[in-house]
Amino acid sequence: MATINIERIERDITAISQFGFNEDDRGVYRQGFSAADMEARTWLRDQFEALGMAHKIDGAGNVIGRYGPEDKPAIIIASHIDSVPAGGIFDGVLGVIAGLEVVRTMQDNGIVPDFPIEVIATAEEEGRFGGMLGAQALTGQLTLDWLERAADERGNRLVDAMSAVGLDYHKALHAYRRPETIKAFLELHVEQGPVLDAEKTTIGIVEGISGVFKWNCRLIGKADHAGTAPMDMRADALMGMVDFAHEIPRIIEEEGTERSRITIGHVECKPGFPHTVPGEVDFTIVGRDLDEEVMRVLSNSCRRVLSSIARRHKLKFEYEEMSWLSPAYCDRDLMNLIESKTKDLGYSYRIMPSGAGHDVQFFCGHTKAAMFFVPSVGGVSHAPDEWTHWSDCQRGTQLLYECATELACD
């Protein structure tokens, strides 16, 4: 059996982690379409070039490397290389580097696939602008209206961010891949949760990906002197947001499921002066569940509760829905292939949902698509101390290689 080379994987993950690395907090700052993000994409194209792969960056910013014949549908191995602020080194990156290692291992063993392998680093997966741009573009789920309206929580427009790195946003609409050009889609990812690590299980075969909605919210009250404004006469916007935060567990208990999540991830208090009552608070709400109807119920409940709190605190409540990503379910045949190869390799495994959104969810329903996890130590992700043992990276990449060669070689 051909075996992958973990030393190359470690070398490449370490190399790409330097793009956007911050020495102070040891986190990675490689947000979509930042300078660090584009430098990492150039680095990846250099790796494709060194392997003799055809490669390009498409109109959405996806970096694509192809190994094998040009006239047949591809087995796509994809994930992302952008990061959240102060992120870790494995999130997304492992899946891309594992794809690169699949091609290297094929070449080491003289294997020319009957169906091409495409390794793709998708663009802007982390949702800085409210979606997963690269995967949406590849699967035809972009609109011109969304592209022109999309902005991050600080008001920076997607079209301006793309223009700043030399991309014409109109060309993102030309990145679409017709289903007949894709034979299968595979994504390897770190779990980003505690289950596999706690159980000492090697592989998590994903059955479905939670849907996600994201809101930009605003509570508007009245800025006032912190010393002279009586507590019962204030219109304190921050108190309104805090009240809502306390309501989240009740909303989930009454309206959600054990797979429901609601998170306030970003808060900006204005005017932000210690001696001034906050007159305005801008914040984000991100909700998740595997059932779209439950998502709608949670969304409606958040809106009702915030409206009620705003009236109670003499505030004005505004919100904008930045994105709504439906739940998706993986292809059963590919799940069976992953399960069979996992058993052949003697790895422990479990079938599980993904609470986090991933590129694969856009390919579900567009083509045969599947995903599997390797453990995250302590369940930590989106943080500088995110870690996955190299031995688990090795096992995950070996499994990916076995699945990819089964699909690519008649």
Residues 185 and 22: their CA atoms lie apart, in Å, by 33
Q: Confidence band (pLDDT; 50, 70, 90) for 250?
A: very high
Range of the domain at 248: 211-325
User: In the predicted model, is pLDDT for residue 1 greater than 90?
Assistant: no
Q: 175-200 pLDDT, tens per residue?
A: 999 999 999 999 999 999 999 999 99
For the chain, the domain total comes to 2
- Look at residue 410 in the predicted model and tell me its pLDDT: 78
Residue carrying structure tokens 């709400």: 285
Among 267, 300, 325, residue at a domain's last position: 325
* Segment 13-34 mean pLDDT: 97
pLDDT digits (tens, 9 = 90+) for 261-309: 999 999 999 999 999 999 999 999 999 998 999 999 999 999 999 999 9
* Residue 1 within a domain: no
How do residues 66-112 score in pLDDT, each as one tens digit? Answer: 999 999 999 999 999 999 999 999 999 999 999 999 999 999 999 99
Please give the share of the chain, as a percent, with pLDDT higher than 90: 94
* Residue-wise pLDDT tens digits, 155-172: 999 999 999 999 999 999
Tell whether 293 is covered by a domain.
yes
Give per-residue pLDDT as tens, 208-223.
Answer: 998 889 999 999 999 9
Residue type, position 164, single letter: A
Name the nearest CA neighbour of 90 among 373, 354, 403.
373
Q: How confident is the model at residue 355 (pLDDT cuts 50, 70, 90)?
A: confident
Which helix (H) or strand (E) segment holds residue 301: the answer is: helix 292-312
- My answer on whether 160 and 142 are in the same domain is yes
Per residue in 47-73, pLDDT tens?
Answer: 999 999 999 999 999 999 999 999 999
Do residue 96 and residue 159 come from a single domain? yes
Taking only the tens place, the pLDDT of each residue in 328-351 is: 999 999 999 999 999 999 999 999
The rounded Cα 330 to chain-centroid distance in angstroms is: 16
User: What is the predicted pLDDT for the residue at 5?
Assistant: 98
306: helix, strand or coil: helix
Does residue 221 share a domain with residue 231?
yes
Q: Same domain, yes or no, for 143 and 186?
A: yes
Domain stops at, among 303, 325, 347 = 325
Choose the final residue of a domain: 325, 344, 360. Answer: 325
DSSP string, 148-205: HH-B-TT--BHHHHHHHTT--GGGGGG----GGGEEEEEEEEE--SSHHHHHT-SEEE
Q: Does residue 45 share a domain with residue 12?
A: yes
In this structure, are 17 and 63 located in the same domain? yes
Q: Which residue has the higher pLDDT, 319 or 259?
A: 319
Confidence grade of residue 252 (pLDDT, cut at 50, 70, 90): very high
CATH of the domain at 273: 3.30.70.360
Same domain, 241 and 385: no
Q: What is the pLDDT of residue 131?
A: 84
pLDDT of residue 356: 84
- CATH number of domain containing 156: 3.40.630.10
- Mean pLDDT, rounded, of the chain: 96
pLDDT band at 130 (very low <50, low <70, confident <90, very high): confident
Task: State the Rg of the chain over Cα.
Answer: 22
Both 176 and 231 in one domain: the answer is no
